[in-house]
Amino acid sequence: MTLPQHLVPSLTGVTVGDTVTVEGDEAHHAVVVRRLRVGEPVTLADGVGLVATGEVAATSKRSFDVRVTAVDEHAEPTPTVTVVQALPKGDRGELAVEVLTEVGVARIVPWAAARSVAVWKGERAAKSHAKWRTTAREAAKQARRAWHPVVSSLASTAELETLVEGADLAVVLHEEATEPIGAIAVPDAGEIVVVVGPEGGLTDDEVAEFVRSGAVAVRLGDEVLRTSTAGVAAVAALLAQTGRWGG
C-alpha cells in the first residue's frame, strides 16, 4: 500500500535529514481527522515533481514535522493532457475534475459553451473555480501524483481556439463524428487537448470552429456519455496508445 501524501508549498532545496513542517488546514486534517501519529511514514509533494518520504517527528493541532529520509524528483509525464471541460450543471463539475485528475490530466480548462446550463459570473465564478481547484488538489493527493493538475480560469471560445492551434493533437468529442477515437494517431510527446461539450452537446458552429483550428472531431462509441465522464473515457482511450499507459 502506498503511503499517504500531503501537499506542501515547496520542497526546493530539501535534502535527506532535513525536517519539513506541514501547517494549516493540511496539517489539521492529517492530525485531528486522520489521527496522524509520531513515527508514521508519509510522503510530501509540492505538486511540481518533488516528492519527499519521511517519518512524522512531531505533531500539534495545526502542524506536524516530517524528518526526511528520501527525496525523489519526477519528470512531468509526457504527453501532457489538457481537457477543456464545458461547465456541467450541479456538482458534476467537481466529479469531472476528480476523475480527470485521477487519470493523470495536467490541466483542466473550464469553458462556458453555448449550451452550458451552468453560469459562472461574479462571486459564483470565484466560488466555483475554488471548488474545482480544491477538488483537483484532493484528488491528486489521493492518486499520489507528483505533478498536480492546474485548473485554469474560465476560458473564452477564442482562447480555446488558440489552445487547440498550439496542441500536438487536439480532439473534440462529438456524437455525430464519423472518426472513432481509437483510430487517431496519438503522439508520444507534446501536448494533447481534449474538448468536452456540455449536457446539451456542442453546436455545429463550435465543432466547426475547433476543427478549423486543427482539432479532429471524434466519437467515443455508440453510447452517449455524460459530460462529467466523457472526458475521462476519452483521455483513457488516448493514453492507452502512448508510453504512459501502453508500456
Instruction: Report pLDDT digits (tens) over 149-193.
Output: 999 999 999 999 999 999 999 999 999 999 999 999 999 999 999
Last residue of a domain, one of 53, 73, 93: 73
Q: What is the model's pLDDT at position 150?
A: 98
Count of the separate structural domains present in the chain:
2
Residues 64 and 126 in one domain: no
pLDDT surpasses 90 at 34: no
Average pLDDT over residues 127-137: 96
Last residue of a domain, one of 50, 73, 96: 73
| pTM of the complete model | 0.93
Q: What is the model's pLDDT at position 1?
A: 66
Q: What is the model's pLDDT at position 159?
A: 96
Residues 196 and 227 in one domain: yes
Residues 137 and 95 in one domain: yes
Residues 100 and 62 in one domain: no
Residues 57 and 126 in one domain: no
pLDDT surpasses 80 at 117: yes
Phi, psi of 230 (to 5 degrees): -65, -40
**Residue range(s) defining the domain that contains residue 191:** 80-246
Strand, helix or coil for residue 223: coil
List the grid coordinates of 63: 502542524
Average pLDDT over residues 96-101: 98
Residues 69 and 91 in one domain: no
Residues 65 and 99 in one domain: no
Residues 33 and 118 in one domain: no
Residues 69 and 85 in one domain: no
Residues 229 and 164 in one domain: yes
CA distance 184 to 105: 19
What is the per-residue DSSP string for 55-67? Answer: EEEEEETTEEEEE
**CATH label of the domain that carries residue 48:** 2.40.240.20
Residues 137 and 179 in one domain: yes
Last residue of a domain, one of 47, 73, 99: 73
Give the neighbor-by-neighbor strand order of the sheet with 179-180. Answer: 150-151, 107-111, 80-86, 191-196, 169-173, 216-219, 179-180
pLDDT: is 138 or 89 the higher one? 138
Size (the chain), residues: 247
Give the neighbor-by-neighbor strand order of the sheet with 5-7. Answer: 5-7, 41-45, 50-60, 63-73, 19-23
Residues 145 and 239 in one domain: yes
Q: How far is CA 79 from the centre of its chain?
A: 14
pLDDT: is 21 or 2 the higher one? 21
Q: What is the pLDDT of residues 63-80, one digit of tens each?
A: 999 999 999 999 999 999
Burial of residue 49 (CB within 10 Å: 0-12, 13-18, 19+) is: middle
pLDDT surpasses 70 at 223: yes
